[in-house]
Structure 1
Amino acid sequence: MADRTFLSWPFLEPQHRDLYDRVDAWAGASLAALDGADESGAGAAGIVRRLVAAMGQAGLLATAVGGRDGALHGPLDARSLCICREVLARHAGLADFSFAMQGLGSGPISLFGTDEQKARWLPGVAQGNVISAFALSEAEAGSDVSALAMRAKPDGAQWRLDGAKTWISNAGIAKLYVVFARTGEDPGAKGLSAFIVEADTPGFSVSKVIDLIAPHPIGALAFDGVKVSRADMLGAPGDGFRIAMATLDVFRPTVGAAALGFARRALDEAVRHARTRKLFGQPLSDLQLTRAKLADMALAIDAAALLIYRAAWTKDVTGARISRESSMAKLFATEEAQKAIDSAVQIFGGLGVTRGHIAERLYREIRALRIYEGASEVQKMIIATRVLADAQT
């Protein structure tokens, strides 16, 4: 049984505790069948499609877009997003992925879309009828968003998009892509804009499917003269960097929350095994070295949870930019989850490196979280930049 004591912390309100119970109950009833499922290649894509539809039917995806029914009923709640991701990740990595991408992919519309754009897209995302994707990264521009090379040029009453994206989650199964391209109002980051692109738009294609150590639908996109209407731009020309960073500000703590869910599962499984496995005539849990590992895991989990829910609370309650807080939450939670899961693998011994075992699966699933939405090294740069800036005021 996962620790629930954090639900009484002052960062969270009664509705967050209710949400935890609702998501946990749904996951417990719906996700057990994922154990042992084929998650490779097309198998993962099919699972994500089914999970998105099921989450939409259960009403869970309304949280991902910020409304009771996915329409126009208020801002994204970062604490609710973190609760959902933590619970889902503890149960199944692909369930967390499916939920998270519906939020991240539609997040720029939730935060910056016009009423017409929200009304057109968010209900379908919330109902699980429309799968979404966040198309930011390029081969030479991952963490350095200012280096984006993809171009968007005015073409009469439309914009013409040319270029390529890569490492795009939900590539090939998404209907809705929020795409960032260079419109050139100013050099670097100030010359980017954001566009809504539908998957069936002429000139758009998935050029490559990428196979990861923890499979999920991800690939590269090609844009060859893709034309979108001016009504499909988010914000104004040149707003793209601000839109991307504001979206990531909200969702970076949720990456930490997913890592927290993985770490909690690792601790639960390690404790269960340590209490029942006999070694040298006594339970593994009686050995001091085992207890030291369990203590370190529990300490890291609580510290990560404090950073995650502090960042989310700050965003929800004050509305302030949380670049520093969200970077700290993502950095610490993902790095410490990696350590906690490694300890769990060690406690399981040979079982922990057996293909398909929960510890082995967690070991593969956690690794990517230290890279995407800004690698750990980039988070350190962001934190140091804020520390130095604050010292000058």
Structure 2
Amino acid sequence: MVAFDRPHGMTPPQAQWELPFFNQHHHTLALGLADWAGAQRVDESDDRRACREWVHKLGEAGWLRYCVPAAHGGALDKLDSRALVILRETLAFHSPLADFAFAMQGLGSGSITLGGSDAQREQRLRAVANGAQIAAFALSEPEAGSDVAGMKTSARQADGGWVLDGSKTWISNGGLADFYVVFAKTTPDAGARGISAFVVPADAPGLDTSEHIDVMAPHPLATLKFTNCRVGADALVGTVDGGFKLAMQTLDIFRASVAAAALGMARRAFAEAVAHARQRKMFGQHLADFQLTQARLGEMSALIDAAAMLTYRAAWMRDESPTQGAGTPAYTAAAAAAKLTATENAQRVIDMAVQMFGGRGVRVGEVVEHLYRDIRSLRIYEGASEVQLLILGKAALKT
């Protein structure tokens, strides 16, 4: 698949950026990104090579600067959730792999932005912002996905540094990244309160990233194995045993942006469905002339709009609300609602688009077929839909 290879005139919608959730600099960002995106061509037949190319392109064009704060080469004074939403929705409309490349730069470096030392920030963030280094976030394990506290990877102090043992799996950019932010148990019996974070360079002795994972929608994934893996004392991010909070804060920043990526894919499927309905002839008229088609398109549109409102609200709350912003229970619930609704609705919209295309919709190489595979993982990663439901249920019981 070649990214951005779309029918003439098909562009992502822009009207949503005029909503009061966004400011003038967001409008400017959206317009500039749309113009840039329309000129890009990337051969994505090899996902690892393509991901490197996307990081290079995004860094060279300045879009990765939105992943880090201005003090370390970023575009804005602090991480801006609405800018992340605009970037991910627009990129995902064109290429889910482009969105992946962008998002992993932010997620992989987010813990350093939030809790890293001055030296860590200076060494890593500027390189992330210009695409010189590829970042990765290593939290999940074979027996610890949603149950983060159940992780087994350990880190112990030795010889003036740290020694890591264990494994991580489903790690995005695994085997591709220049460094990993790795979460490990430093106090084994303390559950979530015994986790710390470390910056582990790709060439650290004792780190094996060779076990790649193939999935239905190709993305660079791998299992990381740590065997007496040694890093310096300066590898610790934040405080000892402060890693769980740091991981959750990082995921909180990007949860609304996952919803935005789902929105971008849903909008692309909707645009493909509308274009197909207008040109597909059957029974002496166009598919768009049938009321059943019109009703289905109406349902798709409503699902997208409902998800968009929750996504933009969550991003606005994190950026602007003094009482319901970052770190508050209200924001956590809003982000959960956005992630749950956008990913589940996008799955429905894309499924409807495939159905509207008929047999052509399941042919390998069709945009809607690709989207059908791409969307599925968003309902699982960075907090599965079931986890979001639990967050919302617990929040309701506290009110």
| TM superposition score normalised by structure 2 | 0.93
* Residue 16 of structure 2: aligned partner: 6
CA distance in 2 between counterparts of 1:251 and 1:289 reads: 37
Residue 279 of structure 1 and its aligned partner are, at CA, apart by: 1.7
319-328 or 293-302, which moves further after superposition? 319-328
CA distance in 1 between counterparts of 2:99 and 2:17 reads: 19
> In the TM superposition, what are the counterparts of 1:140-151 in structure 2 within 5 Å?
140-151=143-154
Counterpart selection for 2:114 from 86, 107, 111:
111
CA distance in 1 between counterparts of 2:301 and 2:182 reads: 40
Task: Classify 1:73/1:306 alpha carbon distance in 2 versus 1 (closer, same or farther; 3 Å).
Answer: closer
CA distance in 1 between counterparts of 2:102 and 2:155 reads: 30
**Counterpart check, 1:320 vs 2:332:** no
Deviation string, structure 1 residues 157-216 (Cα, Å, up to 9, x no partner):
111110000000001110010000001176211110000000001001114110010001
* Residue 7 of structure 2: aligned partner: none
Counterpart selection for 1:338 from 347, 351, 357:
347
**SS in structure 1 of the partner of residue 70 of structure 2:** coil
**Counterpart check, 1:384 vs 2:390:** no
Question: What amino acid is the match of 1:214?
Answer: A
> In the TM superposition, what are the counterparts of 1:142-221 in structure 2 within 5 Å?
142-184=145-187, 187-221=190-224
Residue 74 of structure 1 and its aligned partner are, at CA, apart by: 2.6
Residue 16 of structure 1 and its aligned partner are, at CA, apart by: 0.7
Deviation string, structure 1 residues 88-110 (Cα, Å, up to 9, x no partner):
00001110000000010001111
* Residue 20 of structure 1: aligned partner: 30
Determine if contact 1:185/1:238 at 8 Å carries over to the other structure: no
Counterpart selection for 1:243 from 246, 249, 252:
246
* Residue 276 of structure 2: aligned partner: 273
Tell me the C-alpha RMSD between the 2 structures: 1.4
CA distance in 1 between counterparts of 2:66 and 2:347 reads: 27
* Residue 366 of structure 1: aligned partner: 375
Determine if contact 2:68/2:125 at 8 Å carries over to the other structure: yes
CA distance in 2 between counterparts of 1:128 and 1:235 reads: 24
Question: What amino acid is the match of 1:24?
Answer: A
Counterpart selection for 1:124 from 124, 127, 132:
127
Residue 25 of structure 1 and its aligned partner are, at CA, apart by: 1.4
Question: What amino acid is the match of 1:25?
Answer: D
> In the TM superposition, what are the counterparts of 1:22-101 in structure 2 within 5 Å?
22-31=32-41, 33-34=42-43, 37-38=44-45, 43-67=46-70, 70=73, 74-101=77-104
CA distance in 2 between counterparts of 1:71 and 1:302 reads: 31
CA distance in 2 between counterparts of 1:154 and 1:224 reads: 15
107-116 or 127-136, which moves further after superposition? 107-116
CA distance in 2 between counterparts of 1:191 and 1:285 reads: 58
**SS in structure 1 of the partner of residue 303 of structure 2:** helix
Residue 302 of structure 1 and its aligned partner are, at CA, apart by: 0.9
Deviation string, structure 1 residues 31-77 (Cα, Å, up to 9, x no partner):
3x44xx41xxxx11000011101111111100012338635963211
Determine if contact 1:181/1:194 at 8 Å carries over to the other structure: yes
Task: Report sequence identity in percent.
Answer: 50
Residue 280 of structure 1 and its aligned partner are, at CA, apart by: 1.4
**SS in structure 1 of the partner of residue 326 of structure 2:** coil
* Residue 303 of structure 2: aligned partner: 300
Residue 259 of structure 1 and its aligned partner are, at CA, apart by: 0.4
* Residue 356 of structure 2: aligned partner: 347
State how many pairs are aligned: 383
**SS in structure 2 of the partner of residue 52 of structure 1:** helix
CA distance in 2 between counterparts of 1:154 and 1:199 reads: 20
CA distance in 2 between counterparts of 1:153 and 1:73 reads: 37
Task: Classify 1:327/1:341 alpha carbon distance in 2 versus 1 (closer, same or farther; 3 Å).
Answer: same
* Residue 236 of structure 2: aligned partner: 233
CA distance in 1 between counterparts of 2:241 and 2:215 reads: 33
CA distance in 1 between counterparts of 2:314 and 2:76 reads: 23
Question: What amino acid is the match of 1:380?
Answer: L
| TM superposition score normalised by structure 1 | 0.95
Deviation string, structure 1 residues 217-266 (Cα, Å, up to 9, x no partner):
10100011111222211110111110010001011111110000000000
**SS in structure 2 of the partner of residue 160 of structure 1:** strand
CA distance in 2 between counterparts of 1:186 and 1:296 reads: 50
CA distance in 1 between counterparts of 2:169 and 2:136 reads: 12
CA distance in 2 between counterparts of 1:181 and 1:214 reads: 29
CA distance in 1 between counterparts of 2:12 and 2:57 reads: 24
Residue 329 of structure 1 and its aligned partner are, at CA, apart by: 0.6
**SS in structure 1 of the partner of residue 146 of structure 2:** coil
Deviation string, structure 1 residues 102-148 (Cα, Å, up to 9, x no partner):
01000111111122211110011111010000000000001111111
Task: Classify 1:266/1:274 alpha carbon distance in 2 versus 1 (closer, same or farther; 3 Å).
Answer: same
CA distance in 1 between counterparts of 2:134 and 2:36 reads: 20
- The list of structure 1 runs, each at least 4 consecutive aligned residues, that deviate by more than 6 angstroms after superposition, is none
